[in-house]
Structure 1
Amino acid sequence: MKTRVSCFFLLVFFFVQMVKGEDADLWQLHASDISAPYVGAPMANGGIGILPWKEPFSVRQVILNHVFDTDGPQGVSRVLKGINPFLLSMDVDGKKVDSECVANWSQYVDMKEATHNSSFQIIGKADINYSICALRNMPYAGLIRVNVKVLSDMSLKVAARMDVPQEYSQSTQRFRKMRADATQMYMLQSYATSTHRQQEVSASSAFIFDEDKATEVLYDEMDKEIFFTMKLRKGDSLSFALIGSVCSTRDFSDPYNEAERQVIYAIHEGTDALMVAHCRLWNELWESDILIEGDDEAQRVVRFALFNLYSSCREGSRLSISPMGLSSQGYNGHIFWDSELWMFPPMLMLNKGIAKSMIDYRIDRLVPARKKAMAYGYKGAMFPWESDDYGEESTPTFALTGPLEHHVTADISIACWNYYCLTRDEQWLRTKAFPLMKEVADFWASRVERNDDGSYSIRNVVGADEYANGIDDNAFTNAAVIRALEYACEAATICNEPVPEIWKEISRNICILRFKDGVTREHATYDGEMIKQADVNLLGYPLYFITDAKAQKKDMEYYADRIDPQNGPAMSYSIFCVQYARMGDVKRAYEMFCRCYQPNLRAPFGVLAETATSDNPYFMTGAGGLLQAVINGFCGLQITDSGIVQLPSSLPEHWKKVIVKGIGPEKKAYVRENR
């Protein structure tokens, strides 16, 4: 086994501390009252999500990325909880360590190192601290590192077990002793089959000790746990770790042995090497970051939003991000328009690899989108409102969004075009994006209806405002279709492909309705009622369909207070923030910025919920909107046909400076200062 600590690792550790420097507090989110209201902050790596909680060593669940079963015998698909191999417990002098016997409890999330850290004192016996992370270098594995400082003589028992969630119908567990290259290993393994679609999931876990502290690990057949015991004296210290891996048949043909291999690899690497690799990859991610001078709260909230998006996806995965990421089973883990309209734009600016994975997800599912269009009597490709791993419609049947919310098909094409505009990758456009954009344009050409006056309408849809079902000529849907058709025409020209005249004709003649006073009308029968979220205002940004500042302002003044203040999702107000910031209306821009996150923060870490009244964090869609408010609003960045430009915009009066660094392929930094 490799030596656990070396001079090299210590140098790396001190270097990381120096990098943090004086702004360490801006990288950390703290909790200090174990009895206060608590919502956990997930730790994820794009493969699995781990949810720590406040009780000593508590991990409530593990979420698997894009591993689906159904929510019932004839139910829709739902992302699976994984077997949880991260359940540690500790007994001191025969008494279980729980919330009742600890003092000086505190936790903090370290965003720079992507760790969730806890510390407490077992009264009169020991000081304990431990750290949980989802390893960025091992996307199916997590690591818990524990340090014990003994205050008085005591006996210690540490156990680890696994939890198999209820959505599995069969499970087996075994304990293995094995020796590999002179290293004695003790592993706990569990294997289960999901109830309905027969997804097979396996987890393995093992303790890792320093070489000079290696101890025998035993198995308790009754409690189904591995454990070790020690007698410790005052002044002693002990460090150990628990490594766990969770694999499924979605990603491996043999998840059972793969989970075991990953644990064996981790044992031989050692915890220091694992953490060095983990931190190196996170340092690479943080080369693209947002710096806000003059508002520490905004800095932490915005960085936490970026941290959660980085945690939810990874370059090369060809997967996208669901509204709740890897924090929970919220929205069944499906992929919505949230991905393309809200999360993709900041990822495209800050991390091209993650953005490409999100687009790859849709490109890989073009075939089922063609089948859906055919099934509903249309041509081309019609993407599902809620997509699971198969790329088929996964919306619960009671929701009209599934059969009627079609704008997602336009949103995906727009995202493809924006990726091209940033990268200028013509080969990718020709071979990957344009085939999708063409199918989308063909779908809309078959979906619109021509009116007697030569205009075109899109009837019987659900728009971005999901309180309005089965309406005609929804403003956002129609404008998104115009943009998708225009971009398809431009892409065809670049690729030397024919441009059907019907695409041009439809794009020039789709209806955008207005009231008599010039305010854009949300749909044909809209008459001022409450709306769920921004719809018309998306025409000013991000569609750039309404470019006149006076017209944008008129629309914003009309719709801002019509958004449901209790159940409207977080991201709507970010759209208002972008437009007001670009207009130079600092007061209104900052008001909208605050409204897009402050009512939705949950103690103690500021985890973002979807609405002011919901309890379903972390809401990745809201994170995407919050980042756009800063990147595209206060900093003024915009992707155009010629690449990134920085438009005039204004900062809140108390902000000194915003720096958005690591932008685009050249990793440029853009600055906006208050003069």
Structure 2
Amino acid sequence: MKRCLLLLLFAISALNSSAQDPWKISADQIDPNHYFGITAANGMIGIVSSPQPFKVKNVVLAGTFDTYGRGRVSNFLNGFNLLNMYLEIDGNRLDEKNTGNLQQQLDMKHAAFTTQLSFGKKASIKYTYYALRHLPFTVLMDVTITANENLKLTAASVMETPDALRDVENYYNEIDRPHVTLSLLTSTAKSPTGKLQLCASNSFLFGEQHGLEPKIIHEMWDNNSHLMKFSKALKAGESYTYSVIGSTISSAQHADPLNEAERMTIFAKLEGHDRLLKYHNAAWDDLWQSDILIDGDPQAQQDVHSMLYHLTSFSRAGTSYSLSPMGLSGLGYNGHVFWDTEIWMFPALLVLHPDIAKSLIEYRFERLEAAKRNAFAHGFKGAMYPWESADSGVEETPVWALSGPFEHHISADIALAAWNYFCVTQDKVWLKEKGWPILSQTAEFWASRVERNGINHYDIKNVVAADEWAENVDNNAFTNAAAKLNLKNANLAAGILGLPQNADWALVEKNIPVLTFPDGITKEHAAYNGE
């Protein structure tokens, strides 16, 4: 993977961020032609911002993959864009041409993304959206319009189906109860191959007492888009606030996603706006109990908070989902999981949030059988994890990239994460049930992978190195050192669990070479001459 890993952490640069606040990234000079978006996420849903008023660029739902587009492999799916809206003032629909003073801000402390803008002299508008941390499949958007002159507004929630989805069905339901009327704007569609069903449902939240809320009208535009809207008159000096609550889920998470999307939206609506924000903020306050504080350097503090925010907003405890290099910030790297997770992202989460780190290693444990089948197919024993992984755990690297069949250090990287999880948590039950199977099966892979050519010549030949420009080389230093550590840690785990030491693992570990130049400097691989 010829990567720019730091894009995950620094995509915010498109917002011309200021370091004056350790928690807030703000922008007031936004160029739509050089805009990459920033993500409000809760570890399950990622909402990617847009410079266009009342639009979001992407909605990404963790765990939703299907084969389409690039590489004939599984790709992340664009989910239902359930926070797209429009606002009309006196019949004029607001857009980037007739609005001004656009400002955007991400509050990393509570994962809230806010946009402010003005419509001439008539009105100022502010809206904030959240992927609710305590409700993994639910989002909330608050909108406030302040009238500077008398005006009539029309606000719509627009449910749009991404182009890749098919067999779209749209529904509008009203459920009347003595204390509430529930208006549900709902859509469902199949993924490109029909493998998954994706569903979303929205409802308005109004501040008025029941019976005094605006009248909602449903409109069907075409098969891929429908909306619900309301109108309201405001006098100069008045402000009006309404919200949209919505849920999205797929058959990857629930056997009945269509009904469940509506149930979750009903649940959130009847929880009420204030309770939703209370529990969302409390969940983020709890996450930030683990933090890294830097005195005297506001820019460094903001940068570190950005890194931690993106790691924690793209993952969550209690799941078996892992992290792609781009997290939930879009469809980059097809949403696949690489070594980046275990080597670069996992350590910080393990120390600060071991419960989240457990989800990442659970992802690998659940795909251990697929890794064993992969080793078998390549003539090896044990478990050979794929270089690129998606939902099933099979190899997802496009065939034109040689890293798929040859970048084998990934198995040792995963074993290292499993060992580190035990070292930090000291959870021996977990080590026995899940850590040991990963460590032992990857050790078996390396014992079968080496070519036993004599003392200090248990060679690992024909790999793609961690430096991916070095293809089909022998005895890559990183690969060999990682394999040695994998074998060593597997025997350490055996000792902790009261199991016998594996003499063959010890023999192989001792004889895998890490090549050096005559002056002792590590040699990247056998054919490397210092270039």
TM > 0.5 fold call: yes
Aligned to 1:13: none
Q: Given that residues 66 and 333 in structure 1 are in contact (C-alpha distance below 8 angstroms), is that contact kept between their aligned partners in structure 2?
A: no
- The DSSP-based 3-state class of the residue aligned with 2:171 is strand
Paired amino acid for 2:150: D
- The DSSP-based 3-state class of the residue aligned with 1:226 is strand
In the alignment, structure 1 residue 399 sits paired with structure 2 residue 401: yes
Q: Given that residues 156 and 230 in structure 1 are in contact (C-alpha distance below 8 angstroms), is that contact kept between their aligned partners in structure 2?
A: yes
Q: CA deviation at 1:197?
A: 4.2
2:350 aligned residue (339, 348, 351): 348
Aligned to 2:13: none
Rounded Cα–Cα distance in structure 1 between residues aligned with 2:321 and 2:20: 32
**1:287-298 alignment, distance < 5 Å:** 287-298=289-300
**1:199-598 alignment, distance < 5 Å:** 199-212=196-209, 214-222=213-221, 224-529=226-531
Q: CA deviation at 1:430?
A: 1.5
Rounded Cα–Cα distance in structure 2 between residues aligned with 1:24 and 1:128: 24
Deviations 1:235-258 (A, max 9, x none): 211110111211100001110011
In the alignment, structure 1 residue 159 sits paired with structure 2 residue 161: no
In the alignment, structure 1 residue 147 sits paired with structure 2 residue 149: no
Deviations 1:229-287 (A, max 9, x none): 11111121111011121110000111001110111111111111111110000000000
Q: CA deviation at 1:167?
A: 1.4
Q: CA deviation at 1:374?
A: 0.8
Q: Given that residues 71 and 398 in structure 2 are in contact (C-alpha distance below 8 angstroms), is that contact kept between their aligned partners in structure 1?
A: no
Paired amino acid for 2:227: E
Q: Given that residues 51 and 62 in structure 1 are in contact (C-alpha distance below 8 angstroms), is that contact kept between their aligned partners in structure 2?
A: yes
More deviation, 434-443/98-107: 98-107
Q: CA deviation at 1:150?
A: 1.1
Q: Given that residues 48 and 64 in structure 1 are in contact (C-alpha distance below 8 angstroms), is that contact kept between their aligned partners in structure 2?
A: yes
Rounded Cα–Cα distance in structure 2 between residues aligned with 1:454 and 1:240: 70
Rounded Cα–Cα distance in structure 2 between residues aligned with 1:264 and 1:366: 38
Paired amino acid for 2:341: S
Rounded Cα–Cα distance in structure 2 between residues aligned with 1:316 and 1:52: 27
Paired amino acid for 1:39: F
Aligned to 2:29: 33
Paired amino acid for 2:335: G
Q: CA deviation at 1:39?
A: 2.2
Rounded Cα–Cα distance in structure 2 between residues aligned with 1:73 and 1:24: 41
Paired amino acid for 1:136: R
Rounded Cα–Cα distance in structure 2 between residues aligned with 1:344 and 1:81: 25
Aligned to 2:184: 187
Note the residue ranges of structure 2 that are not aligned, 5 or more in a row: 1-18
Q: CA deviation at 1:222?
A: 3.3
Q: CA deviation at 1:24?
A: 8.5
Paired amino acid for 2:216: V
More deviation, 377-386/32-41: 32-41
Runs (4+) off by over 4 Å:
none
Q: CA deviation at 1:447?
A: 0.2
Q: Given that residues 72 and 196 in structure 1 are in contact (C-alpha distance below 8 angstroms), is that contact kept between their aligned partners in structure 2?
A: no
Kindly tell me: are residues 195 and 231 of structure 1, through their superposed partners in 2, closer, same or farther at Cα, counting changes over 3 Å? same
Rounded Cα–Cα distance in structure 2 between residues aligned with 1:88 and 1:197: 28
Aligned to 1:71: 68
Aligned to 2:3: none
Q: Given that residues 70 and 197 in structure 1 are in contact (C-alpha distance below 8 angstroms), is that contact kept between their aligned partners in structure 2?
A: no
Rounded Cα–Cα distance in structure 2 between residues aligned with 1:74 and 1:61: 21
Rounded Cα–Cα distance in structure 2 between residues aligned with 1:56 and 1:363: 43
Paired amino acid for 1:215: P
- The DSSP-based 3-state class of the residue aligned with 1:463 is coil
Deviations 1:431-481 (A, max 9, x none): 211122111111100000112445211000012100011100000000001
In the alignment, structure 1 residue 137 sits paired with structure 2 residue 134: yes
Q: Given that residues 21 and 298 in structure 2 are in contact (C-alpha distance below 8 angstroms), is that contact kept between their aligned partners in structure 1?
A: no
Kindly tell me: are residues 232 and 485 of structure 1, through their superposed partners in 2, closer, same or farther at Cα, counting changes over 3 Å? same
Kindly tell me: are residues 528 and 470 of structure 1, through their superposed partners in 2, closer, same or farther at Cα, counting changes over 3 Å? same
Q: Given that residues 117 and 130 in structure 1 are in contact (C-alpha distance below 8 angstroms), is that contact kept between their aligned partners in structure 2?
A: yes
Paired amino acid for 1:201: L
Q: Given that residues 69 and 78 in structure 1 are in contact (C-alpha distance below 8 angstroms), is that contact kept between their aligned partners in structure 2?
A: yes
Q: Given that residues 463 and 474 in structure 1 are in contact (C-alpha distance below 8 angstroms), is that contact kept between their aligned partners in structure 2?
A: yes
Paired amino acid for 1:27: W
Q: Given that residues 150 and 237 in structure 1 are in contact (C-alpha distance below 8 angstroms), is that contact kept between their aligned partners in structure 2?
A: yes
Kindly tell me: are residues 320 and 516 of structure 1, through their superposed partners in 2, closer, same or farther at Cα, counting changes over 3 Å? same
Q: Given that residues 141 and 244 in structure 2 are in contact (C-alpha distance below 8 angstroms), is that contact kept between their aligned partners in structure 1?
A: yes
TM-score using structure 2 length: 0.93
In the alignment, structure 1 residue 101 sits paired with structure 2 residue 98: yes
Kindly tell me: are residues 385 and 180 of structure 1, through their superposed partners in 2, closer, same or farther at Cα, counting changes over 3 Å? farther
Kindly tell me: are residues 503 and 181 of structure 1, through their superposed partners in 2, closer, same or farther at Cα, counting changes over 3 Å? farther
Kindly tell me: are residues 180 and 440 of structure 1, through their superposed partners in 2, closer, same or farther at Cα, counting changes over 3 Å? farther
Rounded Cα–Cα distance in structure 2 between residues aligned with 1:383 and 1:181: 56
1:44 aligned residue (41, 47, 51): 41
TM-score using structure 1 length: 0.73
Paired amino acid for 2:213: A
1:176 aligned residue (157, 161, 173): 173
Kindly tell me: are residues 74 and 26 of structure 1, through their superposed partners in 2, closer, same or farther at Cα, counting changes over 3 Å? closer
Kindly tell me: are residues 132 and 285 of structure 1, through their superposed partners in 2, closer, same or farther at Cα, counting changes over 3 Å? same
- The DSSP-based 3-state class of the residue aligned with 1:137 is coil
Rounded Cα–Cα distance in structure 2 between residues aligned with 1:201 and 1:454: 54
Aligned to 1:668: none
Aligned to 1:91: 88
RMSD, aligned CA: 1.5
Q: CA deviation at 1:415?
A: 0.9
Q: Given that residues 73 and 196 in structure 1 are in contact (C-alpha distance below 8 angstroms), is that contact kept between their aligned partners in structure 2?
A: no
Rounded Cα–Cα distance in structure 2 between residues aligned with 1:105 and 1:170: 37
Rounded Cα–Cα distance in structure 2 between residues aligned with 1:67 and 1:205: 20
Paired amino acid for 1:511: P
Q: CA deviation at 1:522?
A: 0.4
Q: CA deviation at 1:499?
A: 1.6
Rounded Cα–Cα distance in structure 2 between residues aligned with 1:288 and 1:486: 31
Q: CA deviation at 1:139?
A: 1.0
More deviation, 491-500/220-229: 220-229
Q: CA deviation at 1:518?
A: 2.0
Aligned to 1:577: none
- The DSSP-based 3-state class of the residue aligned with 2:30 is coil
Between the aligned residues of both structures, percent identity stands at: 42
Kindly tell me: are residues 221 and 166 of structure 1, through their superposed partners in 2, closer, same or farther at Cα, counting changes over 3 Å? closer
Kindly tell me: are residues 456 and 180 of structure 1, through their superposed partners in 2, closer, same or farther at Cα, counting changes over 3 Å? farther
Rounded Cα–Cα distance in structure 2 between residues aligned with 1:469 and 1:162: 46
Q: Given that residues 43 and 315 in structure 2 are in contact (C-alpha distance below 8 angstroms), is that contact kept between their aligned partners in structure 1?
A: yes
Rounded Cα–Cα distance in structure 1 between residues aligned with 2:308 and 2:289: 12
Q: Given that residues 44 and 311 in structure 1 are in contact (C-alpha distance below 8 angstroms), is that contact kept between their aligned partners in structure 2?
A: yes
Q: Given that residues 456 and 512 in structure 2 are in contact (C-alpha distance below 8 angstroms), is that contact kept between their aligned partners in structure 1?
A: no
Paired amino acid for 1:170: D
Q: CA deviation at 1:72?
A: 4.8
Kindly tell me: are residues 248 and 273 of structure 1, through their superposed partners in 2, closer, same or farther at Cα, counting changes over 3 Å? same
